[in-house]
Amino acid sequence: MMKKLMSLVCAVLMLISLAACAAPADDGKLVVGICQIETHPALDAATQGFQDALVKAMGEGKVEFLVKNAAGDTNTINTIINDFVSKDVDLILANSTPVLQAAAAATTVIPILGTSVTEYGVALKLDDFDGLVGGNISGTSDLAPLDKQADMILQWVPDAKTVGLLYCSAEANSKYQVNEVKKFLEAKSLTVKEYPFSSSADLAAVTEDAASECDAIYVPTDNTVANSAAMVDGICRGKKIPVIAGEEGICKGCGVATLSISYYDLGVTTGEMAAKILKGEEKISEMKIQYAANTTQKYNAEICQELGLTPLDGYTAIEG
């Protein structure tokens, strides 16, 4: 009899233990995992915009954010994403292309929203991409009009004959932008040279080559260049070579001009999408990729002055 009683007590205790493990530790809060590839003003702004918009839509105290920064390391990205999946978070924000790719490989169930991603078809290797990823993935794109960015090169450096395209070969979206800009420039009879680098370790040497061989340099929305903009600036400014940048953060670090979007607003749009998913108002499988509504022409006053370039009409100086 005593043995049966002890067995019953053990069974009850085990059930209580399992129930305790299964019970949500967040008192019913929705849990959103945010993985950002690295610290950078544009990416930081997108994350902040996302959080602000989601809190506004869901209400204070309704969402718990697990914010993680991978410090540019691929292995760390995978570790963070796998941790989110093991915790069964309600939604994942993938801030940058490598994070989106890792999240897509890790789960087909948890909703994934990307932001600061340029081209989803390229990032996810989708054939005939029409703006709808489907499945458990959607998000926002930071792609600014590439034809207008190409035009900026000749507007700012009208005597340019040879243009260098500087980008990280490991970033699929950078390669996509370079390919498109190259088409536009070659159509204007310019000589275009590509200067790919595999990591930040060889960026300086490749930039030296580009600055020595070209009249101007174009840099897309490239995470590696963004993280090493000071290095690029030191080389290009020293050789008096103007850089046209794909976004404001890079332009602030090493460029003369850019056609930029607001990454904070992009994050807000992504947060609004997240709210619709979490409230059950829309299915992520039916949500098309959203793009920035507005672009702004901006210039770097300090670098322009040092290179002897007069700011063009319609351009606003980058603050700070």
Superfamily covering domain 146-260+296-317: Response regulator (3.40.50.2300)
Q: Are 30-142+262-288 and 146-260+296-317 in the same CATH fold?
A: yes
pTM above 0.85, yes or no: no
Q: Please report the DSSP string for 47-72 in residue order.
A: HHHHHHHHHHHH-TTSEEEEEEE-TT
CB 123 within 8 A of CB 139: no
Per-residue pLDDT of 204-231, as tens digits, reads: 999 999 999 999 999 999 989 999 999 9
CB 311 within 8 A of CB 301: yes
Distance of alpha carbon 57 from its chain centroid, rounded? Answer: 23
The arithmetic mean of pLDDT across residues 187-206, rounded, is 95
Sole residue written with tokens 């789960």? 107
Per-residue pLDDT of 256-299, as tens digits, reads: 999 988 999 999 999 999 999 999 999 999 999 999 888 899 99
- Give residue limits of the domains in the chain: 30-142+262-288, 146-260+296-317
CATH class of 30-142+262-288: alpha beta
Indicate the residue type of 46.
Answer: A
